[in-house]
Structure 1
Amino acid sequence: MYTWSTDQVDPRDRFDYWREVRAKGLFGVTAELEPGQRRDFFGAFSLRKLGNAGLIELRASPYRVERREADIADARSDSLCIYQQLGGGGWFSGVRLADFSVRSGMFATSYADLPYRTAPLGEDGFHLRILKVPVADIPRPPAGLEALVPQPVQAQTTVLPLLESCFRDLVESSGAASPTNSTALVEALAHFALMERGVLRPGSRLAQHALRTGRLSLARRLIERYLSRPALSPALIADMLGISVRHMHVLFEATPTSFSQTVAALRVDRSRRLLREAPDRPIAEIAFASGFDSLATFYRAFNAVEGMSPGDYRAIQRAEAVQR
């Protein structure tokens, strides 16, 4: 992970450095700001490499951005970009696209080597993430990528929840995460973007592979969301995903643990955390808050994982806390 901010530069030179070195060199854009506002400028970013792809998080005070034909000629990217607005909002315009804005939480997609103009909507400035995926790394990229002008991902599209879940997986994964898993997430996100833009058929093999990745990601998040429900079942999660129960089980067949094993492991993990963080909370409450339907089931599952009872585990945690 590489991080940088204008705090490392003299205030008098911050915007000029950002414009000439960071904006042009890293992002391939032209940055503009009135001279009277430059001394107060702040900009920061992080860059995480995911193979040849890059995940960038950018935060900056307001300024105007253009990717001009000259910028494209000087810094070609040949990448598919997926943007996530994290705060405030942004406005986009360009020769070949209708003006649009993105608000906090929204996604947008584009081909990198097309001209555009953008600026933040408010005084909060920029705060967004950008996943740049080289076209060369997209398996069998379909024709038409070069025409993908910036465009927001439509809220009603069926792939949006899957895209959101996979994007969160990518952001939340640590540097020690499996490179294979990161590659699968990057490929799935690229294919979701292409499906949403209509250049990849949903029934194609690549699209179906992306859908499996996205559904498994979202299934895990839904399991965690409803973990405290004793009635949590494959049928409940399958219904939320709009797939069959059989399809749900097939998703987990490709992983080390089945649906039921995943649920059991997460419940024990939650109970373990609650035993540490709430030392005075009754064990029965913790069992039911973790989704177990009886104390006997809880004790049996906890002992199978930890090799001791929940009470013994709590006693050890208390003793270690006193020693610290």
Structure 2
Amino acid sequence: MYHWCTDDVEPHDRFDFWREVRSKGLFGVTAELERERRADFYGEFSLRQLGGGGLVELKASHYTVERSTSDIAYAPGDSICVYQQLGTGGWFGGMRADDFAIANGSFATSHTDQPYRTAPLGAGGFHLRILKIPVNGLSTQDKRVRELAPRTFADPSLVPLLGACFADLNEAAVDDSSVDATSLVQSLAHLALIERGIVRPGSRLGQAALRTARLSRARRLIAGHLQDPDLAPTMVADLLAVSVRHLHMLFETAAKSFSQTVTDERLKQSRRLMREAPDRLIADIATSCGFESLATYYRVFNAAYGMAPGDFRAQAPEGR
């Protein structure tokens, strides 16, 4: 992972460095900010290569960005971009498309070599994730991919699926988890192409993308309902808007079944709570994670980790 922020530059040089070296040199865009506001400028970003794509997370104070035809000629990208807005919102405009606002939690997509302008809404500044997937790494080479002008996702059913894939991809970047980053990147790209009508949902590519995204979403629904006594395949299938049979089919292709995933998530949550709240009663932790009894929790924990919860808690930090 590459991380950089303006703290590494003298205050009077920060915006100029951001504009010339980072914005133009790394991202191929033109950044502008009134001269009297440059002394207070702050920006940071991280860049991770994952699964054939590049995941950027960017935070910065208010400024404007343009990717003009000259910027594109200077630094062509030939990639699909999927944007996840994390801040207070932003304005986004294609030079040959209607302007639009993108709210916190929303998504947009475009081809890198289509002109656009963008700026944060209000004074909150930028905070967004950008996944760039090279076109030559996609399973489809439809010529319309290179004609994608910037636009938000209009299909509300895709938004939670996109959110789950982005969350899993970000976790894979942070903790080097066992999540298949390549499948997540391809799923995000093909979900964008489904939304634009380039990939059919029922096609081989469309079904694979939806399967990966629904599995990510199902796991996150499980993690968010561990204490719910009604946590069962029926509840998760209803929230996912699929049949129970389809839900079980999603987990058939995964390393763990639905019930194994529930148990694994409950165990991981209990380990987190024991680290974060060392004085909390183990019985209370077991109940809060959805275990039906303390005896069940001890049995399952010992089977998974070869020790009792109390022994795990007693370990030194370096042994955890």
TM-score normalised by structure 1 residue count: 0.89
Q: Tell me whether 240-249 or 288-297 shows the greater mean CA deviation.
A: 288-297
Quick one: distance in 1 between partners of 2:214 and 2:26?
34
Residue 187 of structure 1, CA deviation: 0.3
The reply to whether residue 115 of structure 1 matches residue 115 of structure 2 is yes
Could you tell me which residue of structure 1 aligns to residue 180 of structure 2? 181
Per-residue CA deviation, residues 242-288 of structure 1 (Å, 9 max, x unaligned), is 22222212211222221111212222333344445445544443332
Quick one: distance in 1 between partners of 2:312 and 2:171?
30
Residue 205 of structure 1, CA deviation: 0.5
Residue 178 of structure 1, CA deviation: 6.3
* Equivalences for residues 310-321 of structure 1 within 5 A: 313-314=309-310, 317-318=313-314, 320=316
The reply to whether residue 7 of structure 1 matches residue 3 of structure 2 is no
Residue 301 of structure 1, CA deviation: 2.1
Could you tell me which residue of structure 1 aligns to residue 50 of structure 2? 50
Quick one: distance in 1 between partners of 2:131 and 2:262?
31
Quick one: distance in 2 between partners of 1:174 and 1:21?
25
Residue type matched to 2:26 in 1? L
Could you tell me which residue of structure 2 aligns to residue 244 of structure 1? 243
Q: Tell me whether 294-303 or 167-176 shows the greater mean CA deviation.
A: 294-303
Could you tell me which residue of structure 2 aligns to residue 19 of structure 1? 19
Quick one: distance in 2 between partners of 1:167 and 1:314?
35
Q: 1:16 to 1:316 in 2, by over 3 A?
A: closer
Residue type matched to 2:72 in 1? I
Quick one: distance in 1 between partners of 2:269 and 2:174?
24
* Equivalences for residues 157-176 of structure 1 within 5 A: 157-174=156-173
- Deviating beyond 6 angstroms after TM superposition, the runs of 4 or more aligned structure 1 residues are none
Partner of 1:293: helix, strand, or coil? coil
Quick one: distance in 2 between partners of 1:85 and 1:185?
18
Partner of 1:49: helix, strand, or coil? strand
* Equivalences for residues 1-324 of structure 1 within 5 A: 1-154=1-154, 156-174=155-173, 177=176, 181-309=180-308, 313-314=309-310, 317-318=313-314, 320=316
Residue 173 of structure 1, CA deviation: 1.3
Partner of 2:180: helix, strand, or coil? helix
Residue type matched to 1:287 in 2? A
Q: 1:213 to 1:283 in 2, by over 3 A?
A: same
**Aligned partners of 1:79 and 1:134 also within 8 Å:** yes
How large is the RMSD of aligned CA atoms in angstroms? Answer: 2.3
Per-residue CA deviation, residues 54-97 of structure 1 (Å, 9 max, x unaligned), is 11111222222111111111111011001111112211223311
Residue type matched to 1:200 in 2? V
Partner of 1:144: helix, strand, or coil? helix
Residue 199 of structure 1, CA deviation: 1.6
Quick one: distance in 2 between partners of 1:87 and 1:298?
39
**Aligned partners of 2:51 and 2:183 also within 8 Å:** no
Per-residue CA deviation, residues 147-205 of structure 1 (Å, 9 max, x unaligned), is 21111123x52111111100111111136636881111100000111111222111110
Quick one: distance in 2 between partners of 1:314 and 1:152?
49
